[in-house]
Structures are given as C-alpha cells and as structure tokens.
Amino acid sequence: MVTHNELRNQLETLRRWWRGPAPAITPPRLSLALQGGGAHGAFTWGVLDALLDESALDFDALSGSSAGAINAAVMTQGWIKGGRQGARQALSDFWLEVGKQIPWPLLTQGNGESLSLTPAAKMFASWVGLFSPKDFNPMALNPLRDVLNRQIEFEQIRHKSPFQLFVGATHVNTGKLRLFREQELTVDMVLASACLPKIHHTVEIGGEPYWDGGFCANPAVFPLVQDAKSIDVLLVLLAPHQHDKTPQSMEAIESRIQELGFKTHFLREMNMYARQLTASMALDNRRSSGTNELHRTRFHMIDSNLDVLQRSETKVLAYPPFLEMLRDQGREQAKNWLSQHAASIGKRSSVDLTQWLG
C-alpha cells in the first residue's frame, strides 16, 4: 500500500516531469533609445561603456538617429565580434579614430568643458555656411564614410545582429520618418541618419533623398514600445530637458532654435505617451485600444546637465581630449544611474512620464 508521503513524492516527480526543468535565470534586458548630437555622441559612448561593463545587464533593441544610430551600429558590430567586451572596444576604436580626422589643435582653444573653436575657425565655419555642400564639396568627400567602412562590416550586421536595430532618417521630400532595420542596414543608411544638409550631400537610398533622422525623431521611441521584446526602455538623452536661461545673443538664439528643431518630435512623442498613460489609468481600463504595449512598458532615463552639451558649436568638436572628457562624464552618469535604479529594471519605471506633459 502506498503511503501518503510516497504518493506526494510521486506526484511531485510527475509535476516536475510535466513542467520540465526550471527556466534559467536570465539577466534583465534593456532596449536603448539613443539620441543624436554630433560629437556629443561621445557622452553616449561613455554611457554604453558603463552599461556594457555591467554583466548583469543584457540588451534587446537599439533605436537611434544621427550619432545615436552610429553608436548603435558600432556597438552591434563589436558585439558580433567579441560580445560585450568587443562592443566596448569597438566604440572606443570608432570615437578615437573619428578624433584623428581633423587637426583640431590648430582650430580649438581652451580645454575641458571650456573648449571652443578659435575665432578663425568660427569665421571659416561661417564662411562655409554661405555655400551649399555641392558648391563647397563637389567631390562629396566624407571622412565619416571611410571610418564607418573600416570599423563596421555591414554584411555581418545584416546576417548576425544580436539586437533589433531601428536607424532613423528623414525623407527629404515628405518629411516622413524612415526606419532602417538590421537586416537591410548599409553604410549609406547610417550616413543618411547623420546627414546634416548644410554640411553633407543628401544621401540617396533606392533613389529617394534622406537627411538626418533627428529632424523627425531624435530618437524614435515607438518601435521600442511596439516591437521590442524587452519592455524596459532606457532613454539616453543629450539635449537638456530644461534650460535655466533664455538665450539673448544671436549665437545663443541660433543654438536654441537648432536644438528645438531636433527635439520637438521626441518631446511630442513622450507627451503622447504620458497623456495616453494618464488618461487610461484614470479610466482604469488597461485593455483600451492602443495602450496595451504602453502599459507594460517601463521607462528609464539617463541624461546630462553638462553646460558643454548646451552649446551647439561643440557638436562639431570631434577632438580626442574633448571626446574622452564626454566619455568619462557619460560613464560616470551611467554608473550613478545604475547605483540608484538598476533594481528597477524588470520591475517598474524609474522615470515619471508626466514630466513631458505640456
């Protein structure tokens, strides 16, 4: 006769067989929204370096425009070759090579956060701005293309990408956002995402003209909410959320106008998410159309209040000491964020969306 304990043990054995082995514990997965900003993207390099150094984190999808798209592509290439350490090395190799393209010591003055263009360099930049790229650069020379081709094997990304990629570019004639995916990615698509029309020739893909993705999404967050497997979205932002001063000089006004142009769509998208979430929670109807993905998404944010990131002229300062300073600041900011909010990943949002309500 089978005793009660023997029966219980048999049932437990059957239960384990039916369920199979316990699932392996996997690290929390993040989807990353990487903002663009020229040389300021070196701050994101530092953020990514710190995140990659944290073995308890994994990554699912990367969305970026301009420098954010470049960081995403470089990180992906490095991961394919050597995992997280390969990604760290690839980002370092890319940014340090970018810094070698121009003799910056002849064009800059000051150091650290006070680094700026010399008066002669500013005058030259102003003079260049009087010409279209086709007039000033008829051969369409672009050192960034050469750097990207040396650093990234796009065929590997198309066939072996460990991440979902969303590279944003702006269709010139319609103003619509085009998201290029990992399975189709080429050097032209990354260059299109970073194409500033006053400096670079318009990039044509499939006979269609494209400019910088920042004009219509900097970065695009919705694909991470709708399509990514991870429901933890980390926003890595370069543009300050709020300024303390209203610009007065013409240079400061031009800088603010440029910044607003590149962040308007992002602010509108986050405002929409905040309104949808607030309204649906007030109705206590989590099954309402269009809000399922949003309700289960957990948002996080790393940004910077560095004064140097509020100056538009420093977006072109791809000068190694300056890039390394931004990298160090980004790494420190990310480490601070991890120490405060790492426990939130996989559990709850660590940023309040209502800050984007108008």
- Which region, left, alpha or beta, applies to residue 340 given φ > 0 means left and ψ of -120 to 50 means alpha? alpha
Distance from C-alpha of 358 to C-alpha of 270, rounded to nearest angstrom: 10
Q: Say what the pLDDT of residue 183 is.
A: 98
Tokens of 209: 């003209």
Tokens of 169: 């570019």
Closest among 48, 117, 99, 92 to 321, alpha carbons compared: 99
63, β-bridge pairs? 33, 166
**164 touches 60 (CB < 8 A):** yes
Q: Does residue 159 carry a pLDDT above 80?
A: yes
Mean pLDDT across the stretch 222-244? 87
pTM: 0.83
**303 touches 242 (CB < 8 A):** no
Q: Does residue 248 carry a pLDDT above 80?
A: no
List the end-to-end C-alpha distance of the chain, in Å, as a whole number.
73
Confidence of residue 28 (pLDDT cuts 50, 70, 90): confident
Q: Say what the pLDDT of residue 354 is.
A: 86
DSSP 333: H
Average pLDDT, the chain: 81
Range of lowest pLDDT (190-199, 248-257, 259-268): 248-257
Q: Say what the pLDDT of residue 41 is.
A: 94
Q: 231: helix, coil or strand?
A: coil
Q: What percent of the chain has pLDDT over 90?
A: 49
Instruction: Identify which has the larger pLDDT, 358 or 153.
Output: 153
Q: Say what the pLDDT of residue 136 is.
A: 44
Query: What confidence tens digit (pLDDT) does each residue in 138-150 have?
Result: 545 578 999 999 9
Q: Say what the pLDDT of residue 117 is.
A: 58
Amino acid at 56: A
**142 touches 200 (CB < 8 A):** yes
Instruction: Identify which has the larger pLDDT, 192 or 250.
Output: 192
Q: Say what the pLDDT of residue 23 is.
A: 45
Catalogue the E-assigned strands of 201-325.
203-205, 208-212, 232-236, 298-302
Distance from C-alpha of 90 to C-alpha of 69, rounded to nearest angstrom: 14
DSSP 4-66: HHHHHHHHHHHHHHHH-SPPPP---EEEEEE---GGGHHHHHHHHHHHHT-TT-EEEEEEEET
Q: What percent of the chain has pLDDT over 70?
A: 72
SS (H, E, C) 188-226: HHHHHHCCCCCCCCCEEECCEEEEEHHHCCCCCCHHHHH
Q: Say what the pLDDT of residue 116 is.
A: 62
Q: Does residue 315 carry a pLDDT above 80?
A: no
Which of 16-30, 107-121, 123-137, 163-177 ranks highest by mean pLDDT? 163-177
Closest among 77, 62, 82 to 156, alpha carbons compared: 77
Residues contacting residue 4 through CB under 8 Å, at least 6 positions apart:
none
Q: Does residue 22 carry a pLDDT above 60?
A: no
Instruction: Identify which has the larger pLDDT, 305 or 113.
Output: 305
Q: Say what the pLDDT of residue 102 is.
A: 64
Q: Does residue 121 carry a pLDDT above 60?
A: no
CA 321, distance to chain mean position in Å, is 22
Confidence of residue 293 (pLDDT cuts 50, 70, 90): low
Distance from C-alpha of 179 to C-alpha of 286, rounded to nearest angstrom: 29
332, β-bridge pairs? none
Residues shown for the chain? 358
Query: What confidence tens digit (pLDDT) does each residue in 185-231 have?
Result: 999 999 999 998 888 899 999 999 999 999 999 999 999 999 988 98
Q: Say what the pLDDT of residue 355 is.
A: 86
Closest among 109, 70, 177 to 314, alpha carbons compared: 109
Mean pLDDT across the stretch 167-189? 97
